[in-house]
Amino acid sequence: MRRLPIYFLLDVSESMLGENLYRLEEGLQRIIGELRTDPHALETAWVSVIAFAGRTREVVPLTELPSVHLPQLPVGGGTSFGRALMFLMDQMDARIRRGDGEQKGDWKPIVFLITDGKPTDDVEPALVRWARYASRATLVAVSIGRSADLRVLNRLTDADKVLTLDDVSDEGFRKFIAWVTQAVQSRSRSVGDPAREELMPALDDDILKKLDLRKPIETVDETNAYFVSNSQNTRLPYVSRYEPLRDELDIGGRPLQTVMYRLSGCYPVNNSYFEMTSEQPDVATLSSDQLLGMPGCPHCGNPVGFAMCSCGNTFCIPGAGEHICPWCEQAGSFTPMDADAEAPEINRARG
């Protein structure tokens, strides 16, 4: 039987934490559920889900549609897109059947790349290699919002298949997931017809837009700050997100640009976070006096989520006193920072 491979290449980095990741998980469930009611998809579709952050994991290997089971998506630090693209190509080489004189190979696969961030690794080798694969697969690249590196996405596929999802509300995501489902259904009905298999369903311009190459590509500087801490009681990590607040001060008649960061979310994750995080150490820091708002621990409820140990890591505590750092297992005495003391630098995750 000739198979139609469907790949979902999904960004699960810190910037996806929160509603976007929940909606994506629910959306995948809806896609699989809808496709199972379509006789054409049931007959041909095989699904693979590949998640990437600092590292890449095959969450669902290439599996026939009726047998697909979707686990919870992992999350990790970094956006190693080059590594993820290399992984996808390796999987295509290993899993997709090529035709020969005795039997026909699989149908041309379709890849849905969904991301909301800029690569944190070197993507050039993967882009060069992908040039040999571009004609062997249909790739649809979707930027959640305008934060992804659209120039990179544009090098992967045709301009009409580079899309931005501007409406990330529940309703916007629902319509986007319905569009993806229709795209798969359309492909399952048009396999073997080169004139039709590249056609995509019509777009709802209120939520999903094509990249217009006639205009300069707009990019968004990802200046959100992310910090990874550990729960003292559960030994589970959590990620705090701070959004920038920019201002300009007049110092002696000269303008001085300042940036503060306001707490916008704190998300519990599990230890698979570290499995999906780049093995390269975080090198960026941010002064603690630039942060507005203190997270509590989403795992155990401790009210102080940013107690800093001498090992340089942060964790949660119930208040001042003697506590054991869950990172290095060393005991220390923790007190509120003196207002006159120099603000410590906190390790900043890659995002």
Confidence of residue 325 (pLDDT cuts 50, 70, 90): very high
In sequence order, which residues have a C-beta less than 8 Å from that of residue 26 and are 6 or more positions away? Answer: none
Same domain, 15 and 105: yes
pLDDT tens by residue, 89-117: 999 999 998 877 677 889 999 999 999 88
Indicate the pairing of strand 162-165 with strand 4-11. unpaired
- Return d(Cα 145, Cα 251) in angstroms, integer: 36
The pLDDT, as a whole number, for residue 180 is 93
Residue 30 inside a domain? The answer is yes
Amino acid identity for residue 215 in this structure: K
Strand 314-317: give its sheet, edge to edge.
Answer: 291-292, 254-268, 237-251, 225-230, 314-317, 304-308
In sequence order, which residues have a C-beta less than 8 Å from that of residue 212 and are 6 or more positions away? Answer: none
Joined together, the tokens standing for residue 134 give 């571009």
Same domain, 113 and 231: no
Helical pair 170-190 and 19-35, crossing angle rounded to 10 deg: 30
Confidence of residue 287 (pLDDT cuts 50, 70, 90): confident
- Return d(Cα 74, Cα 95) in angstroms, integer: 23
Last residue of a domain, one of 210, 242, 262: 210
Helix (H, G, I), strand (E, B) or coil at 304: strand
- Return d(Cα 184, Cα 175) in angstroms, integer: 14
Residue with tokens 């979902």: 8
Joined together, the tokens standing for residue 312 give 């340089």
Joined together, the tokens standing for residue 343 give 């603000």
User: Structure pTM?
Assistant: 0.82
Last residue of a domain, one of 181, 210, 239: 210
Q: What is the CATH number of the domain that holds 53?
A: 3.40.50.410
Residue 216 inside a domain? The answer is no
Same domain, 309 and 165: no
Could you give phi then psi for residue 134, rounded to 5 degrees? -55, -35
pLDDT tens by residue, 214-252: 455 444 335 688 999 999 999 999 999 999 988 776 666
Print the domain residue range for 31.
4-210
Number of domains forming the structure of the chain: 2
Same domain, 132 and 32: yes
Residue 215 inside a domain? The answer is no
Same domain, 158 and 29: yes
Cβ(147)–Cβ(117) below 8 Å: yes
- Return d(Cα 296, Cα 302) in angstroms, integer: 6
